[in-house]
């Protein structure tokens, strides 16, 4: 089941904040976030694992609500370089006690445009 | 600087022709993914391999698509015969899973995407 991202698109001025949401109808093992600039390949941003472990970098943070099967990506004090399409990728839980299904299902993306 | 490479970068072909796309994963990565990206569907997983063995190819139209890993340094995606609806950007990505519970594969670490093959079928 493909996760649902919202909003589909957002336009910001430099320095403004944005939140991108990702929700799934299935129990999740992890949520991954990627950013893709026009004409380029997706680039990894971070992983959020069930149990709260978070891995990532840059000035971007995220949360993962396991019970609600939702994740949110927070971009604060946006920069021009943040422009691009953000994808969440979800790993379904393989067993009730955990374990990964082994592959990502990506949402359709949120297009972020940061203007000067 | 380790990168995933894909060839060709662009391919224009006529309906009915065979198309072969190649991918060289990053050395040491044991998992290779094939994705297709279109405006309508976004990023779709077509197939993936771990240690050269196919784990899941349920995303591929079986009658025309095939994916193989003849060795650890080469993955191929073949379309025969090609159709206009196959026009898309095809990405290959590689990575390695993190350890999980009881020896099972855990969450995947970062996937490194190649630059993609832009396929146009006329």
- A4 Cα to chain B: minimum distance (Å): 12
Closest partner residue to A98 (CB to CB) among B43, B48, B101 is B101
Residue B66 has a pLDDT of 96
Q: Which residues 20-79 of chain A have a CB within 8 Å of chain B?
A: 29-30, 32, 34, 40-44, 47, 49
- B35 Cα to chain A: minimum distance (Å): 10
pLDDT digits (tens, 9 = 90+) for B103-121: 444 556 788 999 999 999 9
Residue A48 has a pLDDT of 85
Closest partner residue to A109 (CB to CB) among B42, B48, B100 is B42
Cβ pair A47:B55 closer than 8 A: no
pLDDT digits (tens, 9 = 90+) for A69-103: 899 999 988 999 999 999 999 887 665 555 555 67
CA dihedral A95, A97, A99, A104 (to 10 degrees): 60
CA dihedral A22, A34, B45, A8 (to 10 degrees): 50
Cβ pair B107:A49 closer than 8 A: yes
Residue B122 has a pLDDT of 97
B87: phi then psi, degrees, rounded to nearest 5: -60, 125
Token duo for residue A49? 């694992």
Share of chain A above pLDDT 90, in %: 53
Closest partner residue to A44 (CB to CB) among B41, B43, B111 is B111
Token duo for residue A32? 């991954």
Nearest alpha carbon to residue A113 among A78, A87, A77, A89: A78
Distance (Å, whole) CA A10 – CA A20 = 9
pLDDT digits (tens, 9 = 90+) for B67-89: 999 999 999 999 999 999 999 99
For residue B114, what is the nearest residue in chain A, using CA coordinates?
Answer: A41
Burial of A80 (C-beta count, 10 Å sphere; 0-12/13-18/19+): exposed
pLDDT at A57 over 70: no
pLDDT digits (tens, 9 = 90+) for A25-47: 887 778 899 999 999 999 999 88
Is residue B5 classed as helix, strand or coil in its secondary structure? strand
pLDDT digits (tens, 9 = 90+) for B31-70: 899 999 999 889 999 998 988 988 888 889 889 999 999 9
Residue A56 has a pLDDT of 59
CA dihedral B32, B75, B93, A83 (to 10 degrees): -170
Token duo for residue B96? 């390695």
């Amino acid at each position: 089941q493909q996760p649902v991202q919202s909003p589909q698109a957002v336009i910001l001025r430099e320095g403004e904040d944005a939140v991108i949401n990702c929700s799934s109808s299935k129990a999740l093992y992890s949520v991954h976030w990627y950013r893709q600039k026009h004409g380029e390949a997706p680039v990894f941003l971070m992983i959020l694992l069930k149990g709260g472990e978070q891995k990532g970098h840059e000035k971007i943070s995220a949360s993962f609500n396991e019970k609600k099967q939702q994740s949110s990506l927070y971009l604060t004090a946006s920069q021009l370089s943040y422009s691009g399409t953000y994808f969440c990728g979800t790993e379904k839980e393989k067993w009730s006690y955990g374990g990964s299904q082994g592959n990502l299902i990506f949402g359709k993306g949120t297009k972020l445009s940061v203007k000067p | 600087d380790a990168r995933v490479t894909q060839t060709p970068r662009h391919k224009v072909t006529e309906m009915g022709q065979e198309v072969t796309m190649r991918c060289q994963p990053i050395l040491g990565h044991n998992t290779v993914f094939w994705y297709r990206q279109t405006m309508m569907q976004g990023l779709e997983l077509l197939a993936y391999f771990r240690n050269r063995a196919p784990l899941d190819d349920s995303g591929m139209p079986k009658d025309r698509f095939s994916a193989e890993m003849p060795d650890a340094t080469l993955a191929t995606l073949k379309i025969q015969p090609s159709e206009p609806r196959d026009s898309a950007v095809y990405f290959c990505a590689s990575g390695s899973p993190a350890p999980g519970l009881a020896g099972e594969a855990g969450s995947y670490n970062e996937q490194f995407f190649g630059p993609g093959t832009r396929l146009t079928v006329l």
